Chains A and B, each alone.
Chain A
Amino acid sequence: DGGITQSPKYLFRKEGQNVTLSCEQNLNHDAMYWYRQDPGQGLRLIYYSQIVNDFQKGDIAEGYSVSREKKESFPLTVTSAQKNPTAFYLCASSGGGITKTYNEQFFGPGTRLTVL
């Protein structure tokens, strides 16, 4: 699990501001994912990327944007268009690499975003 990192651990944002959450993996995994977790809820998929320079919307993509310019990095931007951004954000990766797994997703430690 040490192979996937997220920063910062806590993030505070004023209404109307965009913020970017970092996700880096050194597992050499092909695919990366962003999930949102609200209290008492399961994980909901925001965006995912199967390969560099390509990504797809998940179930709740509105108000978020991503990029995948490098295999090891998949930053998530929470825009001012996201109406209720306060949540716990989890990044994950899967696919080959040093874990030699295929479907298993490995999660980062998460970023807790609070809108003030």
Chain B
Amino acid sequence: GENVEQHPSTLSVQEGDSAVIKCTYSDSASNYFPWYKQELGKRPQLIIDIRSNVGEKKDQRIAVTLNKTAKHFSLHITETQPEDSAVYFCAALTNNAGGTSYGKLTFGQGTILTVHP
């Protein structure tokens, strides 16, 4: 099955700096890569996603890059703010064979991001 590795496990930055979180995946059939933000005790919320036919996607201060050959993808947050502090999870989706399957998401272990004012 799919295996997703996420690094670093913790990341501490100063407000205004950039933050980068990296993930690798094992299954070349994975075709959808979302990033979720989870605040303490809350539900994960999708912040950005990318499909396997796209190399980069940007949404304001957040961007995601995908390298299919190397099987890795990264989250980039620029001009970090204290409210960006949370746990961030990457995931990779693998579709089951045939039909209208919505596939299975495999999550990374998470990165605790702390942005210091």
Chain A residues proximal to chain B, CB less than 8 Å: 1, 30-31, 33, 35, 40-45, 48, 50, 58-59, 90, 94-95, 102-110
Contact = CB atoms under 8 A, between A and B. Distances in A.
A113 B4 CA distance: 26
B117 interface: no
A40 B102 contact: no
B89 A42 contact: yes
Interface size bucket, B side?
A: 20 to 34
10 contacts: A1-B43, A33-B105, A42-B4, A42-B6, A42-B107, A45-B106, A50-B102, A59-B1, A94-B102, A103-B34
B32 A41 contact: no
A103 B45 contact: no
Contacts of B108: 42
Contacts of B32: 103
B53 interface: no
Interface of B: 1, 4, 6, 32, 34, 42-46, 49, 89, 93, 99-110
A110 B43 contact: yes
A50 B89 contact: no
Contacts of A45: 104-106
Contacts of A40: 109-110
Nearest to A4: B43
A103 B93 CA distance: 8
A104 B89 contact: no
Given A41-B110, A105-B105, A108-B43, 16 more contacts: A30-B100, A31-B102, A35-B107, A40-B110, A43-B105, A43-B107, A45-B106, A48-B104, A50-B102, A59-B1, A102-B102, A103-B32, A103-B34, A103-B49, A103-B102, A107-B43
